[in-house]
Amino acid sequence: MAVWIQAQQLQGDALRQMQALYGQHFPIEVRHYLSQWIEAQPWDSIDLDNPQEGVRAAQLLDGLIQELQKKADHQVGEDGFLLKIKLGHYATQLQNTYKHCPLELVRCIRHILYHEQRLVREARNSPLLASSMADAVTQKHLQINQTFDELRLFTQDTEN
């Protein structure tokens, strides 16, 4: 299971620790909307002590910016309008922050991913937290099933 999906199930102090990882340097919204892309990138393969790795880091920065802009461009509707503006702002902000030091972006994301994985692992190993995470997942499944049932009924009403 993806780290971000598991991280969203954290509670209490672990959740506060995860939230503290984010800020102006890397907004949690970027992590949320690009979670799959972020987790699929080779952040750990870049040697932060080698300045020549700046080229690969810059490619990752460019990819991140492109993904954010794509996500922004695909937003529609009333809620999508605000999200489009926000994601565009984050793209500009990250570009301006890291364009001269892309290795810092890699360092930042590696730090975040490492601590997210640690928090998830600790929660999974704690019987109390693990059961509350399982309960949260079960609750989410119940909500999804309920939504499907409501949509099915709505569709039936519309067809009749």
Alpha carbons 43 and 59: distance in angstroms, whole number: 11
- Tell me the whole-structure pTM to 2 decimals: 0.76
pLDDT, tens digit (0-9, with 9 covering 90-100), for 92-142: 999 999 999 999 999 999 999 999 999 999 988 876 655 555 566 666 666
The ranges assigned to domains in the chain are 9-126, 129-159
Distances (CA, A) of 45 to 52, 107, 121, 154: 13, 11, 22, 49
Angle between helices 102-125 and 12-20 (to 10 degrees): 180
Q: Regarding the domain with residue range 9-126, which homologous superfamily does it belong to in the CATH classification? A: STAT transcription factor, N-terminal domain (1.10.532.10)
pLDDT, tens digit (0-9, with 9 covering 90-100), for 28-54: 999 999 999 999 999 999 999 999 999
Other beta carbons within 10 Å of 6: 18
